């Protein structure tokens, strides 16, 4: 199948297919005599795997590692479980960050009791007065 057909089958763009090829996540296709890319069912299956991992917010490095495990089934599930457990930890850390963000927004929202006729909007004042928190040198998530 051609790249457009693969992209359509995987419900993604041609650019996405090319990007995953460039990143080494999707193997290079064979070429026809007229030098067009020719993809097989294995490409569609691998692209579906990659897109499912991305839907779970996995990084390219995590996906690359999982693909390595998929290509070597004799390796067993232990390392796969470790990777998924680590990813769950990343998600937990992100949830904690988002809960903190939500609380900051709720606190800001509580500063405003309704319509203000003057220039004393509590939210705007709060945003002006709020101290920005120092970002940790190293976040405990894979998001950086």
pLDDT tens across 119-139, in order?
A: 678 888 888 888 887 766 555
The per-residue pLDDT for 116 is 62
Residue 32, helix vs strand vs coil: coil
> Tokens standing for 24?
């080494």
% of the chain exceeding 70 in pLDDT: 89
pLDDT band, residue 117 (cuts 50/70/90): low
CA 112 to chain CA centroid, nearest Å:
35
- Confidence band for 16, pLDDT divided at 50, 70 and 90: very high
**pLDDT of amino acid 62:** 96
Asked whether residue 28 carries a pLDDT value surpassing 60, the answer given is yes
Give the single-character DSSP code of 73.
G
CA angle 18, 84, 69 (to 5 degrees): 60
Q: What local confidence, expressed as pLDDT, does residue 113 receive?
A: 73
Summarised one tens digit per residue, pLDDT across range 58-97 is 999 999 999 999 988 887 899 999 999 999 999 999 999 9
Minimal CA–CA distance to 107: which of 125, 134, 94, 120? 125
Q: How far is CA 28 from CA 9, 25, 73, 126, in A?
A: 18, 9, 22, 53
Please tell me the predicted confidence (pLDDT) of residue 144. Answer: 44
d(CA 50, CA 81): 17
pTM here?
Answer: 0.76
Distance CA 17, CA 4 (A): 9
Rounded alpha-carbon distances, angstroms, from residue 11 to 39, 44, 61 = 15, 10, 22
């Amino acid at each position: 199948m051609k790249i457009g057909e693969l992209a359509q089958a995987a419900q993604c763009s041609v650019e996405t297919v090319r990007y995953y090829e460039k990143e080494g996540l999707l193997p290079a296709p064979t070429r026809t005599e007229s030098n067009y890319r020719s993809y097989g069912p294995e490409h569609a299956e691998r692209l579906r795997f990659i897109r499912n991992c991305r839907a779970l917010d996995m990084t390219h490095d995590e996906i690359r590692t999982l693909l390595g495990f998929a290509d070597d089934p004799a390796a067993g599930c232990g390392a796969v479980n470790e990777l998924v457990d680590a990813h769950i930890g990343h998600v937990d850390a992100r949830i904690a960050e988002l809960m903190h963000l939500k609380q900051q927004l709720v606190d800001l929202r509580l500063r405003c009791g309704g319509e203000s006729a003057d220039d004393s909007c509590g939210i705007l004042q709060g945003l002006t007065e709020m101290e920005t928190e120092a970002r940790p040198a190293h976040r405990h998530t894979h998001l950086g």
